[in-house]
Amino acid sequence: MGDEGKETGYHIHSHDVVIVGGGLTGLRAAIETVDHGLDTAIISKVHPLRSHSVSAQGGINAALGNAVPGDSWEDHAFDTIKGSDYLADQDAVEIMCKNAPATIIELEHFGTVFSRLPDGRIAQRPFGGGMFPRTCYAADRTGHNILHTLYEQLVGREKNEKGKGGRLTFYDEFFVSSLVKVGDDSFEKGAGKAKRCAGCTAINIADSSLHGFTCYSLLLATGGFGRLFARSTNSLINTGDGASLALRAGVPLKDMEFVQFHPTTLYDTNILVTEGARGEGGYLLNSRNERFMEKYAPKSMELAPRDIVARATQQEIDEGRGFEGGYVLLDLRHLKKEKIAERLPGIRLISMDFAGVDPVESPIPVQPGQHYSMGGVVAGNDLATELPGLYAAGECSCVSVHGANRLGGNSLLETVVFGKLAGQEIEKNFPSSGSWDKKGVEKAVLERLSAEDSRIKALLAKKSGVKMHSLRDELKKTMFEYFGVFREGSKMEKGLKKLLELKATYPEVHINNKSPLFNHALIYTLELEGLFDIAEAVARGAIARQESRGSHSRVDYPERDDERFLYHTIYRLKDGKPVLESLSVRLGKFPIKERVY
Ligand SMILES: Cc1cc2nc3c(=O)[nH]c(=O)nc-3n(C[C@H](O)[C@H](O)[C@H](O)COP(=O)(O)OP(=O)(O)OC[C@H]3O[C@@H](n4cnc5c(N)ncnc54)[C@H](O)[C@@H]3O)c2cc1C
């Protein structure tokens, strides 16, 4: 496993490309770089098959027109842009929607077992925001199917012989703790003094040893930051590490205030109940047995975009038409046992195991919960960030295909379309000589490793102080309470004050467990430091945006305000201080309209 670091005590690994993240984005990118001959490393803090992508349920969008003929990429793009409340960059949406049908076919050829129509073609179900059967699925375990397919593809490539594609190495259960930058002139003559990303540092979770990685290009594919909020459908690992790594390396974040709340998460545990359940015909009832979506979206009903259904559900609960404890009901009984077993088997099991309810016989108790991070690391359509050598794709990035609200089924699509493109771009920009100043980079990596070593030793040296778990719980509660489904200016100011007070206590944080073996408390503590960076970006963006758009709903500014706010929020650290800037939205052929559903 690379240089054993006899002199320094650190382990150094050298690759052409380092991909941080073993979810759909990272794996899809790796297929591309490996097939183009690049020596690729995939680093993941969990085994790749435990990445959050595995839990995606409902499906992946593509205008195949299988279930109902007559769909087109333009219709898909229109629905996406309207769903985004016009904040998506239209050229990026075009890339995603145009590539969608070929991507599904490619996944099928890789081996993904999609559900089928009786004539054998890939089946499609309606999802929110489109109301058209455009979402391809593998029962309600779509992410599981695609992730396993891509992983299998890569396991085959791990055994590549010389001359047949590039080398591939998995670093499972390695936690990336910082990015490494070097002067660009150590790479190419005449590139000036600009900095460049040339690697990262990581902790091997099994034994806490420190590892340095050198590379020519590094792709962040680290997923979302759902675990910043008290109620979330996201895996425990979704702590937005990529966004904070980038921010600290001087790379800005975009549209962080846009956080998606899903209307149907299981009461109390907040495990997701897929939109596919409504796509198959399920409907929502309040405590008066009313299908309340009639009031909020009379045309689309339960298949209006998520932000609209989540707000409607929360409003019913807030105004006393929910059930005690704060939930409404999702009724699937009329779909009957056979259809539920065929199309929604996972949802039935989840409901029985975690809520004690069999949806064949009783409605499922549901409530809104955080689900998706629309904002992320600023990346162009070529997935490049502001920092040469650093790329970002998938949920950790903001290429701006989702704008202010993501449509269900578009995120899986984003991971595979832009994961592939990221791999292609990295390959395109790789030096034809295949070489660069690796010694210079190694020196920079060693310096960073020594800084990380001191940071970790200082954390472990503390004998008493604030408990990591209590601080993290406080942060999550604060974010859900002050920056949740509904937001208001003075309340958010209070929330920001509270979160800055909490952040100020982070240096006091104390870890009981001092063992080097699988010290998850240490990893959680490092994640928590990053979560504070992200929390501040969300809070400051939300306070500054005095309008309601997509998922960002302000009771004090209930209207969308295109004159003042049709722009992206850019958040960066300058000399360690937060700075907000704005960036124009790239409009196109789809004109801005009212968002009526
Ligand atoms: C319950 C649920 C259901 C969903 N259903 C759907 C759906 O039906 N359709 C749809 O389109 N979208 C769905 N989504 C959204 C979609 O699944 C995700 O947006 C997408 O899978 C994210 O993929 P990704 O590759 O960007 O990141 P992830 O799959 O989250 O992977 C992130 C990777 O980064 C690694 N990582 C993170 N930080 C570090 C670090 N510091 N060091 C090392 N490794 C690190 C992790 O180990 C992991 O391998 C769903 C999401 C959830 C939560």
- Kindly report the protein residue whose alpha carbon is nearest to atom 52 of ligand 1: 56
What is the average pLDDT across 320-337? 97
- Is residue 222 within 8 A of residue 21, CB to CB? The reply is yes
Residue with tokens 């003075």: 490
Nearest CA to 414 out of 132, 93, 152 is that of 93
Assign 335 a pLDDT band (cuts: 50, 70, 90). very high
Beta strands (DSSP E) in 95-191 are 124-126, 133-136, 168-172, 174-183
- What's the angle, vertex CA 248, arms to CA 459 and CA 462, rounded to 5? 5
Cα–Cα distance measured from residue 408 to residue 509, given in angstroms and rounded to the nearest whole number: 38
Reported residue count of the chain is: 597
Q: What is the pLDDT of residues 464-474, one digit of tens each?
A: 999 999 999 99
Instruction: Kindly give the pairing relationship between strand 364-373 and strand 397-398.
Output: unpaired
Ligand 1, atom nearest to 235 Cα:
53
Phi first, then psi, for residue 257 (nearest 5°) are -70, -15
Tokens for 581, please give them: 């800037």
What is the average pLDDT across 220-242? 97
CA-CA distances (angstroms) from residue 185 to 15, 188, 519? 19, 5, 39
The DSSP line for 286-311 is -TTS--THHHH-TTTGGGS-HHHHHH
Nearest CA to 419 out of 377, 387, 383, 385 is that of 383
Ligand 1 centroid, distance to 392 Cα (angstroms)? 13
Ligand 1 centroid, distance to 36 Cα (angstroms)? 25
DSSP 576: T
Tokens for 87, please give them: 């904040």
Please give the pLDDT value at position 482: 98
- What's the angle, vertex CA 123, arms to CA 122 and CA 128, rounded to 5? 130
> What SS3 state is found at 534?
helix
Please name the helix (run of DSSP H) or strand (run of DSSP E) that holds residue 570, with its range, or none.
strand 567-574
Please give the pLDDT value at position 189: 43
Assign 437 a pLDDT band (cuts: 50, 70, 90). confident
Cα–Cα distance measured from residue 423 to residue 34, given in angstroms and rounded to the nearest whole number: 9
> What SS3 state is found at 8?
coil
Please give the pLDDT value at position 1: 46
Please give the pLDDT value at position 162: 60
Residues labelled catalytic: 306
Please give the pLDDT value at position 193: 52
Residue to substitute in 80, 270, 410, 411 for testing ligand 1 pocket (most ligand atoms within 8 angstroms of CB):
411
- Kindly report the protein residue whose alpha carbon is nearest to atom 50 of ligand 1: 56
- Is residue 251 within 8 A of residue 194, CB to CB? The reply is no
Please give the pLDDT value at position 244: 97
Residue 8, pLDDT > 80, answer: no
Instruction: Kindly give the pairing relationship between strand 195-204 and strand 209-214.
Output: antiparallel
Supply the angle between the helices 142-158 and 90-110 in degrees, to the nearest 10: 70
Residue 222, pLDDT > 70, answer: yes
The three state secondary structure string of 493-528 is: HHHHHHHHHHHHCHHHEECCCCCCCCCHHHHHHHHH
Cα–Cα distance measured from residue 453 to residue 458, given in angstroms and rounded to the nearest whole number: 9
Residue 2, pLDDT > 60, answer: no
- Kindly report the protein residue whose alpha carbon is nearest to atom 9 of ligand 1: 409
Cα–Cα distance measured from residue 493 to residue 578, given in angstroms and rounded to the nearest whole number: 16
Ligand 1 centroid, distance to 237 Cα (angstroms)? 9
Ligand 1, atom nearest to 238 Cα:
30
Nearest CA to 44 out of 275, 222, 209 is that of 222
Ligand 1 centroid, distance to 395 Cα (angstroms)? 7
Please give the pLDDT value at position 468: 94
Q: What is the pLDDT of residues 246-278, one digit of tens each?
A: 999 999 999 999 999 999 999 999 999 999 999
- Is residue 538 within 8 A of residue 228, CB to CB? The reply is yes
Please give the pLDDT value at position 163: 57
Ligand 1, atom nearest to 44 Cα:
44
Instruction: Kindly give the pairing relationship between strand 253-254 and strand 376-378.
Output: antiparallel
- Kindly report the protein residue whose alpha carbon is nearest to atom 6 of ligand 1: 56
- Kindly report the protein residue whose alpha carbon is nearest to atom 2 of ligand 1: 56
What is the average pLDDT across 419-431? 97
How many CB atoms are located within 10 Å of the residue 10 CB? 21
DSSP 363: P
- Is residue 57 within 8 A of residue 274, CB to CB? The reply is yes
Residues near ligand 1 (Cβ within 6 A): 20-26, 43-46, 48, 51-53, 55-60, 142-143, 175-176, 221-224, 233-234, 237-238, 241, 272, 274, 372, 394-396, 408-412, 415
Q: What is the pLDDT of residues 160-204, one digit of tens each?
A: 766 567 899 999 999 999 999 987 554 544 444 568 999 999 999
Q: What is the pLDDT of residues 296-312, one digit of tens each?
A: 999 999 999 899 999 99
Ligand 1, atom nearest to 271 Cα:
1
Cα–Cα distance measured from residue 395 to residue 412, given in angstroms and rounded to the nearest whole number: 9
Q: What is the pLDDT of residues 88-124, one digit of tens each?
A: 999 999 999 999 999 999 999 999 999 999 999 999 9
Positive/negative CA dihedral, 558, 563, 566, 570: negative
- Is residue 406 within 8 A of residue 83, CB to CB? The reply is yes
Residue to substitute in 51, 148, 248 for testing ligand 1 pocket (most ligand atoms within 8 angstroms of CB):
51
Phi first, then psi, for residue 447 (nearest 5°) are -60, -45
Ligand 1 centroid, distance to 412 Cα (angstroms)? 9
Residue to substitute in 43, 50, 53, 456 for testing ligand 1 pocket (most ligand atoms within 8 angstroms of CB):
53
Assign 490 a pLDDT band (cuts: 50, 70, 90). very high
What is the average pLDDT across 484-502? 98
Ligand 1 centroid, distance to 223 Cα (angstroms)? 5
Residue 4, pLDDT > 60, answer: no
Query: Is 0.75 topped by the overall pTM?
Result: yes
Ligand 1 centroid, distance to 155 Cα (angstroms)? 20
- Kindly report the protein residue whose alpha carbon is nearest to atom 20 of ligand 1: 53
Cα–Cα distance measured from residue 233 to residue 213, given in angstroms and rounded to the nearest whole number: 32
- Kindly report the protein residue whose alpha carbon is nearest to atom 24 of ligand 1: 223
Residue 226, pLDDT > 80, answer: yes
Cα–Cα distance measured from residue 130 to residue 72, given in angstroms and rounded to the nearest whole number: 12
Cα–Cα distance measured from residue 181 to residue 248, given in angstroms and rounded to the nearest whole number: 11
How many CB atoms are located within 10 Å of the residue 186 CB? 17
- Kindly report the protein residue whose alpha carbon is nearest to atom 21 of ligand 1: 53
- Kindly report the protein residue whose alpha carbon is nearest to atom 5 of ligand 1: 56
Please give the pLDDT value at position 156: 84
Average pLDDT, the chain: 94
Ligand 1, atom nearest to 276 Cα:
8
What is the average pLDDT across 520-534? 97
Percent of the chain with pLDDT over 70: 96
- Is residue 221 within 8 A of residue 21, CB to CB? The reply is yes
Ligand 1 centroid, distance to 4 Cα (angstroms)? 32
Please give the pLDDT value at position 440: 83
- Is residue 276 within 8 A of residue 135, CB to CB? The reply is yes
Please give the pLDDT value at position 188: 47
Higher pLDDT, 432 or 578: 578
Ligand 1 centroid, distance to 451 Cα (angstroms)? 29
Ligand 1, atom nearest to 61 Cα:
11
Please name the helix (run of DSSP H) or strand (run of DSSP E) that holds residue 279, with its range, or none.
helix 276-279
Tokens for 251, please give them: 């790379």
Ligand 1, atom nearest to 245 Cα:
41
Residue with tokens 């989840």: 350
